[in-house]
Structure 1
């Protein structure tokens, strides 16, 4: 996530007010951040805790594109959301039966 945001470990460490070595240890799995540092990292990267913990969770993390769709759904009428939901169901059935 840090790299996708175009940040070096040094830049992230400065924004989180910690040592860059500590950030590199966290990223490599050699160290765990405190809860407050973890929240700082989430805020600096502009992401949610569940996204960063995705590899550790039983449920897969929802891709950003799906989250964006969810945000767009807030502006739709209920019948529009129902129509999209039905379209997705048809698409899933169609792709599932072909596999």
Structure 2
């Protein structure tokens, strides 16, 4: 698993739960910059923080670690294929934003 992929999944799930980085950081008792670093692939959370992330986001460690692509929740009654499309779309938008920001 690459750190970038972990970060992309973390960001997509966080956004699907309608949480900002600040809201997640407050619930984790870490700084907003720390959550940003996780999502950018600059660092990994500790094991204790990782378990708390899974609990807060109601997602599995397997999903965030790319052991499984099965999401343990449904977004608004969407099918698995629709959820995957939404997550891919969010990931594409974020990549495009990073490219634009670099210019």
Unaligned residue ranges in structure 1 (runs of 5+): 67-99
2:6 counterpart of 1:5 = no
> In the TM superposition, what whole-angstrom CA distance separates every residue of 1:20-41 from its partner, at most 9, and x where no partner exists?
1001000110011100000011
Give me the whole-angstrom Cα distance separating, in 2, the residues matched to 1:65 and 1:10. 23
- Count of paired positions: 62
Unaligned residue ranges in structure 2 (runs of 5+): 1-12, 75-103
TM-score (norm 1): 0.57
Residue 69 of structure 2 is aligned with which of 61, 70, 94? 61
- Runs (4+) of structure 1 exceeding 3 A deviation are 63-66
TM-score (norm 2): 0.55
CA RMSD of aligned residues (A): 1.8
**Which structure ranks higher in relative contact order (CA pairs < 8 Å, sequence separation ≥ 6)?**
2
